[in-house]
Amino acid sequence: MSTATQWMKDSVWPEIEAMMLNDAHFRLFLTARQLTGKFNGASAQLLQDGYVTYQMVAIRRLCDKGDDVISLVRALMEAEKEKPAFKPQIDQLLDNMLQQSNHVRQQVNKYIAHTGKQKPQQFIPWNMGMQHLETAQKAICQTAIKLDQDILNWECPIEIMPIPQFYYGEDLMLWVPEKHRDELNKAWHDNRKRVNAWRQR
């Protein structure tokens, strides 16, 4: 197994799956809030802040170019060394992913990783919504799939977001009425379908 394939199998895909599972749990939490009108105070803000921070840092990690890390970007660069004939395709994948994730990476560098010292004429205001995260997530997932299937010839996971080996709504059902269980289940599975549809070529 090549180095790039090993990195994808052992490090990159587990991180992508963890990122998308975290996203799915937060989206389910939002659905529970909408159904019940509950959990809107400081604790909800704490969960939201944790979600945004986790997602932004995960995206930054997967796009890290450092030569002392394992990331999706580094796997692409390693694949280019291993299979130089694929350089045009790899460069296109890399450029597209970095472009689609650029907004999140700028924001995390200025506001999360450290407090950026910004010049007035170059000031970047805080602006982070779920659509920004989703754009970066989708680009990362599709880049990983294309790298595995088209270049490394390694069959990546069948689903981006597999079914967890536990009931995903267990904690929510402590405060969500039983009558909403089916609606929560539908929201969870609809989100899985949305994410796994990114595998379509």
pLDDT at position 40 is: 84
- How much is the pTM? 0.91
Percentage of residues of the chain with pLDDT beyond 70? 95
Confidence of residue 162 (pLDDT cuts 50, 70, 90): confident
pLDDT tens digits, one per residue of 74-105: 999 999 999 999 999 999 999 999 999 999 99
pLDDT at position 121 is: 58
Examine the pLDDT at 70 and tell me if it is beyond 90: yes
Structural domain for 47, as ranges? 3-199
What is the SS3 assignment for the chain? CCHHHHHHHHHHHHHHHHHHHHHHHHHHHHHHHHHHCCCCCHHHHHHHHHHHHHHHHHHHHHCCCCCCCCCHHHHHHHHHHHCHHHHHHHHHHHHHHHHHCHHHHHHHHHHHCCCCCCCHHHCCCCCCCHHHHHHHHHHHHHHHHHHHHHHHCCCCCCCCCCCCCCCCCCCHHHCCCHHHHHHHHHHHHHHHHHHHHHHCC
Confidence of residue 158 (pLDDT cuts 50, 70, 90): confident
Percentage of residues of the chain with pLDDT beyond 90? 73
pLDDT at position 111 is: 77
Number of domains in the chain: 1
pLDDT at position 6 is: 95
- Cβ-contact 163, 142 below 8 angstroms: no
User: Mean pLDDT, to the nearest integer, of 131-146?
Assistant: 97
Examine the pLDDT at 118 and tell me if it is beyond 70: no
User: Mean pLDDT, to the nearest integer, of 116-124?
Assistant: 66
